[in-house]
């Protein structure tokens, strides 16, 4: 009997712990109108920069324990913008991003290591150009606050560097290639809090 009571008590405690952990998570939808994936890459002797402006996805965050958080995001490669229409058209062609075949980039987090309440290191699977690779990068929580429309928002920043060749792009291997292999990425992400009873779609 004592053993049964202990098992029941242990089970109840585990349910309470799990419920508490889930309750700490807050759901945010990425606001594609206020989120950007900025990039820069070597061009001949200088650098060219631009961004992807169409980012969608969901963020589950525990403000008290960043390790209990997760991210899923999609970037529309057709939203690439470099400030020059002719160059943007060229970037989308098969020689570079080949957006006719690979119009979407995805990222799904696997693990988050918290360094503090506002900084951490995220590991996840990035899929681009038909290639899926695990990447790790640091990020910052910029803050939380109410917006002018009665909602609640969150802000995040992350920086990393990728090698285009790791994802099957061949332009860096061309003789006297004008465009480099290393791509510097800065993510500026704004999330809109979802009601607790309305899971992200």
The whole-number pLDDT of residue 153 equals: 97
In this predicted structure, which of 53-57, 82-86, 174-178 has the lowest mean pLDDT? 174-178
% of the chain with per-residue pLDDT over 70:
86
Kindly report the CATH class assigned to 26-193.
mainly beta
- Alpha-carbon distance 102 to 148, whole Å? 37
Each as own residue / partner, the long-range contacts of residues 129-134 (CB below 8 Å, 24 or more positions apart, any chain) are 129/97, 129/98, 129/102, 129/167, 129/168, 129/169, 130/101, 130/102, 130/168, 131/166, 131/167, 131/168, 133/166, 133/167, 134/110
Could you report the per-residue pLDDT of 136-175, keeping only the tens digit for each? 999 999 999 999 989 999 999 999 999 999 999 999 998 8
The whole-number pLDDT of residue 197 equals: 58
Position 7 pLDDT exceeds 60? no
Domain boundaries along the sequence of the chain: 26-193
Confidence label for 196 from pLDDT (cuts 50, 70 and 90): confident
Q: Which two tokens stand for residue 170?
A: 């061949």
Ramachandran category for residue 13: left, alpha or beta (phi over 0 → left; psi -120 to 50 → alpha): alpha
Position 19 pLDDT exceeds 80? no
Confidence label for 22 from pLDDT (cuts 50, 70 and 90): very low
Q: What is the average pLDDT score of the chain?
A: 89
In this predicted structure, which of 69-78, 84-93, 105-114, 190-199 has the lowest mean pLDDT? 190-199
In this predicted structure, which of 13-27, 50-64, 90-104, 155-169 has the lowest mean pLDDT? 13-27
């Amino acid at each position: 009997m004592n053993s049964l009571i202990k098992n029941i008590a242990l089970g109840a405690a585990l349910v309470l712990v799990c419920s508490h952990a889930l309750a700490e998570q807050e759901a945010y939808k990425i606001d594609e109108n206020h989120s950007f994936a900025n990039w820069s890459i070597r061009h001949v002797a200088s650098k060219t920069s631009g961004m992807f402006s169409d980012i969608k996805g969901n963020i589950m965050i525990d403000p008290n324990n960043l390790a209990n958080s997760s991210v899923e995001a999609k970037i529309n490669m057709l939203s690439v913008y470099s400030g020059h229409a002719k160059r943007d058209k060229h970037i989308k062609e098969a020689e570079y991003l080949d957006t006719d075949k690979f119009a979407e980039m995805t990222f799904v987090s696997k693990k988050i290591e918290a360094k503090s309440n506002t900084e951490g290191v995220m590991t996840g699977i990035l899929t681009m150009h038909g290639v899926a690779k695990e990447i790790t990068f640091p990020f910052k929580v910029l803050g939380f606050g109410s917006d002018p429309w009665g909602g609640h928002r969150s802000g995040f920043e992350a920086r990393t560097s990728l090698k285009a060749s790791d994802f099957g792009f061949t332009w860096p291997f061309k003789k006297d290639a004008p465009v480099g292999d290393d791509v510097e990425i800065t993510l500026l992400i704004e999330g809109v809090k979802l009601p607790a009873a309305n899971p992200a779609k």
